[in-house]
Structure 1
């Protein structure tokens, strides 16, 4: 993992709740490797269909630039216009903000991220999530 990518893991989709909204589903996932991190994520399933038992690779990155440089001066809508970016390697990308941390059970911490109303909640060991901080991030996913 580079300094740009704060967190990366493979998850297996456990449940999908589509009852509340037409195009958005809340998926629950478990870390595919150690099963020590759980994730709840709102996904626009019209754009990115997800099924139970799908395996997803998720990454949280500070920038989409391949060299890891910040893209603050461009604004998130102009990133990658005509140039190769980290997003080219993934199927689904969202921009949001890590806004809250809580202590979990034992050595676990809870991390809350908002992507313009679509929410993500991570609960896992501090050692795996220690690089995360209150900041703007990109969520990148692929199957």
Structure 2
């Protein structure tokens, strides 16, 4: 699975805001080492979160346990064991923008999961593998 893993981190949720949409909460958090900031829109009816929660995030290119490319949609794998079985909340989205930070040391990565947005702001070295078109985001508490 290591070939498919692009980014893995545990975040502590610090702030939740629910301003614009009925079922969407914007979650703000920081990684354990405080090097990476997280801003994520989550459907709170499917995956409720609270301030102080610790959430493990994995960004991967495939859900196949052996790391092979997905040949069909991830929801079409009934009866097959996938990476999604080990997590509570799974989304598939498009990486749509990068912003370089100070002196090339930091980077912001933006991903859209059908309108639910993710922004990671952290060290260039950790986030540069995300320079691809599509990713799976997997979360668990």
Q: TM-score, normalized by length of structure 1?
A: 0.93
Matches within 5 A, 1:38-57: 38-57=37-56
Query: Does residue 116 of structure 2 align to residue 122 of structure 1?
Result: no
Aligned CA RMSD, in angstroms, stands at 1.2
What is the aligned residue count? 140
SS of corresponding position for 1:128: helix
Superposition deviation, residue 132 in structure 1: 1.1
Give me the whole-angstrom Cα distance separating, in 2, the residues matched to 1:90 and 1:105: 34
SS of corresponding position for 1:111: strand
Give me the whole-angstrom Cα distance separating, in 2, the residues matched to 1:90 and 1:75: 17
Superposition deviation, residue 105 in structure 1: 2.6
Query: Comparing 103-112 with 38-47, which one deviates more in the overlay?
Result: 103-112
Q: Which residue of 2 aligns with 1:88?
A: 85
Unaligned runs of 5+ in 2: none
Give me the whole-angstrom Cα distance separating, in 1, the residues matched to 2:55 and 2:12: 6
In the TM superposition, structure 1's runs of 4+ consecutive aligned residues that sit over 4 Å from their partners are none
Give me the whole-angstrom Cα distance separating, in 2, the residues matched to 1:51 and 1:140: 18
SS of corresponding position for 1:122: strand
Q: TM-score, normalized by length of structure 2?
A: 0.95
Unaligned runs of 5+ in 1: none
Q: Which has the higher helix share?
A: 2
